[in-house]
Amino acid sequence: MKNGIEIRWHGRGGQGAKTAALLLADVAFKTGQNVQGFPEYGPERMGAPITAYNRISADKIRVHSNIYHPDYVVVVDETLLDSVDVTAGLKKTGAIIVNTAKAKEEIAGRLNGYEGRVFTIDARKISMETLGKNFPNSPMLAATVAVSGVMPREKFITEMRASYEHKFAKKPEVIDGNMKALELAFDHLEKAIKSEKMSLTA
């Protein structure tokens, strides 16, 4: 795979990082791309660190190993920063996205000197506001799409609505909340990306 991107997700069992990786594969597939979404399994228990991966490419994907030099890393649970080397192998030209209420500068100082772009998002707050519960994976998914640019926002939103309508056919009341979570996360990241670009040109 020469053209395409590789993403590594870090989360804890039960938080939906695996689901988010599979959803990303799903939505990227619908935009006509070749995809891979897969989890790395350890002992299955709530709260244990888990890793999930995505490859997204215009070419056919043949490699079946884990991802060691990702373009993007997504950290769904900031407490993992203490125990997992989340930036291991992460490309300088890529970015890391961390779910946290803390300031970006504070998080950036805890990333083993990672020199690439750092984005933060308070997915918990967005989820509580839109769903009344802490399901960080929808906002994190939107953040990942916004930062990686794997597909345009409108396309992503349209496909996600279709996915949620299918997935939550028996719980339609959560669809709007999830869609709102995606939009809020996208707004937040677009703003962050814009201000980063401005500070680079300044």
Residues forming the site for other proteins (CB under 8 A): 1, 22, 25-26, 29, 34-39, 41, 60-66, 68
Reported residue count of the chain is: 202
- Is 116 strand, coil or helix? coil
Nearer to other proteins, 67 or 189 (CB): 67
Give min distance, CB of 144 to other proteins, in A: 16
Give min distance, CB of 78 to other proteins, in A: 26
Element (H, E) at 9: strand 5-12
For 112-121, letters b (16+ CB in 10 Å) and e give eebebbbbbb
Give min distance, CB of 154 to other proteins, in A: 21
Nearer to other proteins, 42 or 109 (CB): 42
Nearer to other proteins, 35 or 189 (CB): 35
For residue 77, what are its two tokens?
């649970």
Give min distance, CB of 36 to other proteins, in A: 5
DSSP state of 123: H
